[in-house]
Structure 1
Amino acid sequence: MLLARIERDPDQLDRLGRFVLWAGFGIALILLLVGSVTMAEGIWPVPVLLAASLVGLALFAREGSNLWITIALFVLILDYEAGLQLTEVVYGLYFAAFLGLWYGKRFYIGGNRFITDPVDLAVAAYLMIALASVTWAVFFGAKPKVIAGEMLVLLMMAFYFPVKEACARNPERALKALVLVVAWLGVFVFLRNALTYRSALASAEQLYEITKGRVALNEVLQLVPALGALVFFLFSDQRRDKLVALALFLVFFIGTIITQSRGYWAAFGVGAIVLFLLIENRHRLRLIVLGATGVLSVLVLGFLFFPGIIDLIVAGLVGRLLSLSTSFTDDISMVNRMYETAAVWNNIKVNPILGYGIGTEFDYFSLIEDKTARYAFVHNAYAGVWYKYGIIGITAVLVLLVRGIVLGTRLFRSAGASPLVRSVGLIVAICLIAEMLVANTSNPFLIADGTLIIAVLAAAAAGCTEYIRRTDPIPATTPETDG
């Protein structure tokens, strides 16, 4: 009966979806309220979640709002606390409901062409081979808990098609929402990391705890916003926009610094160099000045917030930066990752076509733990994807990254695109190049925030490209964005 009504009136499915979302949030609110009354302590997130849920209910009347709200609420699972948290359950339910309804509506009603570009095919192939690999992953001994964890990360890639569709329909509106959401995620991570870093320094008892102090959490959510703010500062016309972009750049630049992650430092440097090469001379001087301003700001803020230990902090940062050239021979963590990659490669050579499936583990001798054990996480993204998803998986990932860079560069040089679209195109290109570098030592396809960022960056480029093709089939090109 219900299916017949939906066939007669396709909007019935949309109304049903909204009802399910409203009902789900109503149940979540009741659970939160009951929890806040019954739990004696540890309930500080409850009022925040209640307020956020009430605000969300007012915005969930439209599917587009649901998309950006869902991505913005990703902050609920960024705490890395042990065990399953209430916030993770709430977000997981909403996240699954949104994606299920979005894809269900498109597949049931039809009329939507999902595959219009090679990057679409790459994402679809990656998702399908990863989901299908569950069948042979069990055969290779994958544990259900590990499969479930990697499946949650995998589903972040499913945001690609909703974001692409939004950008293809109205790129200006979608990109503004996407920029705000990514900035929000970056600010949240910065504040959390900065407070954690300050607390760690305040409680330090040994000098090495100061010089080596770091907060290596969600680095990609500092790297991408930092490069994005850099681009917007260079190409914004209004002084207000430049000041906002400058402030955000300094925030995210400092956030990237305090992670003390050499891989992300190198990725930022590569992204900045590529940006320097792509822009005109009149913007290059501005970029150099901004870089010097960023370094000076780090020192000034260091003297303000850590007046007694800033020399130790700077010494630690400089020492870690200088160790980049010798990290692959002297740093035990980097040498250990090389051993890890070698062990994974030996497994790949045995089964290069099909792969071993999602959640599968491998054995290798860890120099850090000084023992041979089984591990599921592979730090080298390319080896990790090939090991788990075979030749189809690694090909899909390479096409996704390379094609995303190509589309972003074309948007940047397109005269048929608005300044916002061209700027975002440049951001996509330099950020994906940076991600391709850092993927050698930190696997974004096994980390939720890394997968999410790659998905939305590629989706923005593909969606805007589709919009331009539809409205201007033969766009002209220009070497520079306006500004």
Structure 2
Amino acid sequence: MKINPSKFQTYWIHSIFITSPLFFRTGDEGISALDIIFGAYFFGSLAIWFFWKVFVKKEKIIRNIADFFIILFPILSIGTMILSLINEVSFLNIIREYILFSFLLYYFPIRENLQSKDAIIKLAITFSISVIVNDIAQFYDYYHEFTRGVRYAYQIMTGQRINQTIFTFSILAGILALLYPQKLLSKVWLIFVVGITAMSLITTSSRTFWIIVLLGILIYLVVLPKKQKINLMISTFLSTMLIGIVIILFFQDKAQIVFKAIQIRLESTTEGKKDISVTNRFVEYDAVINKIKENPLGGNGFSKQFVYYNSILQYSLHSIYTHNGYLFFTYRYGIPLALIYFFPIFYLFGKSIFLYIRIHDLFYKFVVLGGFTGLILLIISSVTSAQFMNRDGIFVLAISFALVEVADYYRDEQNENKLVQKWQ
């Protein structure tokens, strides 16, 4: 059933998108004033939306099995909150984490806002502006570190490792949008957004996400029509040239160090278990798996520490973070709740493949491919980091869910129209 959102709801969702960079870049440690402000606005307004839709307008929110599990997870995870209190975790930290995962529920109003091509394009424009704001903040942080004095490539390789998911999704979605027929001015803007955001991703020194971008481009080369493949190669070349020019202009005499750092990071990807950081991850995984075995059903709760030996620092660490999204969720929530959370991800991932094959309209093929891109990005990146708990990761997940479902609505609408025409 197609629902036309009110103007107020449309403005609200656009405001969430445009202010999202501030939300993504706050609250790394402790609870700040900005955390409280965003908690009140982002999640207070979301709670009001649900109350209005469910209890006042009495509209149906759950439309498929994925929706059911998305709603079920925050309800059942109240039990995890209680377990966390028993484990003497700070009440404010518990609320903070619970609210963070509830951000996925933005999928529902975003889905409702994308009911037409015009609405999708307008929200995409707002999203691209927010991405540029995020890029500027990333450059500022990176330049601040850079001015402290960088002489060697290894000093650059640490990077500012935040928002890799939103950067990667923006690059791949931007490349996809570039391939859709549109005005020259729009293409110039998209090339600018993709090029600048690619620079932001480079400054994170996150090789996993660099590889995912390359993998995404490879997937596009395989699945897209011939004309779009040619445009993809041209767009990729232009964006790469822009990245090189920006590095030279931005870093000037230190540009060679940046290029060397990129080369070193990419070369280290092929080392596998010879890379000490990879070896260290496996030690961490073993410690987490042992903890999961101790509490397989209920999990260990929020912010519950585990101990493992860090071979880089050469001493034992007490940590609450796991460099694997699947183990992270299972450790905190237990196997049943983790499966409830992961089911919609893989269900809609499979659905996106089915829809891409069945839909013939180029615009909506690109829409569902955008949803597929976001999902495969998170599925892969969560093997080496807990992207399902990061603010930008949850935001990309909500957008990806919405894109897949919007494409599904279009297909249902087309099937209904064909059925009506058949009986006329």
Per the TM superposition, whether the score is higher than 0.5 is: yes
Partner of 1:346: 290
For residue 467 of structure 1, report the CA deviation from its aligned partner.
Answer: 4.9
Q: Is the 8 A contact 2:292 2:299 kept in 1?
A: yes
Distance 1:347 1:211, change over 3 A: closer
Structure 2 equivalent of residue 260 of structure 1 = 205
Change (3 A) 1:129 1:374: farther
For the residues of structure 1 that align with 2:302 and 2:35, how far apart are their CA atoms?
22
Quote the offset at 1:161 in angstroms. Answer: 1.6
| Range with greater deviation from structure 2 (322-331 or 186-195) | 322-331
Rounded to whole Å, the distance in 2 between the matches of 1:267 and 1:254 is 15
> Out of 263, 270, 274, which is 1:325 matched to?
270
SS in 2 for 1:112: coil
Number of the residue aligned with 2:78: 131
Tell me the equivalent position of 2:331.
387
Q: Does 1:150 align with 2:97?
A: yes
The answer to whether 1:63 aligns with 2:9 is: yes
User: Matched residues in 1 for 2:254 and 2:281: separation?
Assistant: 32
- Pair 1:466-2:409 in alignment: yes
Q: Which amino acid aligns with 1:187?
A: I
C-alpha separation between the residues in 2 aligned to 1:344 and 1:224? Answer: 29
Change (3 A) 1:446 1:98: same
Q: Does the C-alpha gap of structure 1 residues 470 and 115 become closer, same or farther in structure 2, counting only changes over 3 Å? A: farther
2:153 and 2:258 in contact (8 A); partners too: no
Shifted more, 376-385 versus 283-292: the winner is 283-292
- The answer to whether residue 342 in structure 2 is matched with residue 398 in structure 1 is yes
Q: Distance in 2 between matches of 1:343 and 1:273?
A: 36
In the alignment, structure 1 residue 297 sits paired with structure 2 residue 237: no
Deviations along 1:297-343, one digit per CA (max 9) or x if unpaired, are 222222223231222211111111111011543233x3322222211
- SS of the residue 1:214 aligns to: coil
Q: What are the Cα deviations for residues 200-257 of structure 1, in whole angstroms up to 9, with x where unaligned?
A: 3333154246553622221112111100110011123333322222222112222222
Give the equivalent residue in structure 2 for 1:237: 182
Match of 1:88 in 2: 35
Q: 1:270-309 to 2 correspondence within 5 Å?
A: 270-309=215-254
Give the distance between the partners of 1:326 and 1:241, measured in 2 at CA. 41
Provide the rounded CA distance (Å) in 2 between the counterparts of 1:372 and 1:218: 28
Relative to 1, partners in 2 of residues 1:308 and 1:434: Cα closer, same or farther, differing over 3 Å? same
Retained in 2: the 8 A contact 1:408–1:424? Answer: no
CA distance in 1 between counterparts of 2:79 and 2:111 reads 24
What is the aligned partner in structure 1 of residue 375 from structure 2?
432
Q: Distance in 2 between matches of 1:387 and 1:157?
A: 20
Q: Is the 8 A contact 1:127 1:157 kept in 2?
A: no
Residue number in structure 1 paired with 2:133: 188
Distance 1:318 1:416 in 2: 41
Secondary structure of 2:336's partner? helix
Q: Which letter does structure 1 place at the counterpart of 2:19?
A: L
Q: Deviations over 1:122-148 (max 9, x none)?
A: 312322232332122333444434323
Q: Is the 8 A contact 1:171 1:421 kept in 2?
A: no
* Structure 1 contact 119–404 (Cα < 8 Å) conserved: yes
> Compared with structure 1, are the counterparts of its residues 110 and 346 closer, same or farther at alpha carbon in structure 2 (3 Å cutoff)?
farther
State the Cα RMSD in Å. 2.7
Distance 1:474 1:368 in 2: 62
The answer to whether the Cα contact below 8 Å between 2:24 and 2:391 also exists between their aligned partners in 1 is: no
* 1:217 to 1:139, Cα distance in 2 relative to 1, 3 A: same
Instruction: Name the count of aligned residue pairs.
Output: 413
Q: Which has the larger radius of gyration?
A: 1
Matches within 5 A, 1:244-255: 244-255=189-200
Aligned mates of 1:133, 1:87 — CA distance in 2: 25
Q: Find 2:257's aligned residue among 306, 312, 315.
A: 312
SS at match of 1:133: helix
1:457 and 2:400 matched: yes
Whether 1:102 and 2:49 are equivalent positions in the alignment is: yes
Quick one: which amino acid aligns to residue 96 of structure 2? G
Deviates more, 1:186-195 or 1:314-323: 186-195
Helix, strand or coil for the counterpart of 2:309?
strand
Instruction: Tell me the residue number matched to 1:409.
Output: 353
Distance 2:237 2:7 in 1: 46
The range that moved more, 388-397 or 341-350, is 388-397
Q: 1:205 to 1:110 in 2, by over 3 A?
A: closer
Q: 1-side partners of 2:351 and 2:123: how far apart? A: 18
* Correspondence for 1:422: 365
**SS of residue matched to 1:354:** coil
**Aligned match of 2:321:** 377
- In 1, Cα distance between the equivalents of 2:260 and 2:208? 19
The alignment's TM-score, normalised by the length of structure 2, stands at 0.88
1:73 aligns to 2:19 (yes or no): yes
Q: TM-score, normalized by length of structure 1?
A: 0.78
| Runs of at least 5 residues in structure 2 that lack an aligned partner in the other structure | 1-5, 420-424
Give me the identity figure in percent.
17
Report if the CA contact (8 A) 1:381-1:445 is conserved.
yes
Deviations 1:140-171 (A, max 9, x none): 4444343233223212112122222323xx23
CA distance in 1, matches of 2:144, 2:337: 41
Q: Could you say which residue in structure 2 is the equivalent of 1:111?
A: 58
Shift of 1:179: 1.6
- Counterparts of 2:338 and 2:259, CA distance in 1: 40
Query: Which sections of structure 1, spanning at least 5 residues, go unmatched?
Result: 1-59, 477-483
Q: 1:118 to 1:173 in 2, by over 3 A?
A: farther
Aligned-partner residue type, residue 240 of structure 1: L
List per-residue Cα deviations over 1:396-452 (Å, max 9, x = no partner). 3332222222333344445465x4433221111122112211111121222111111
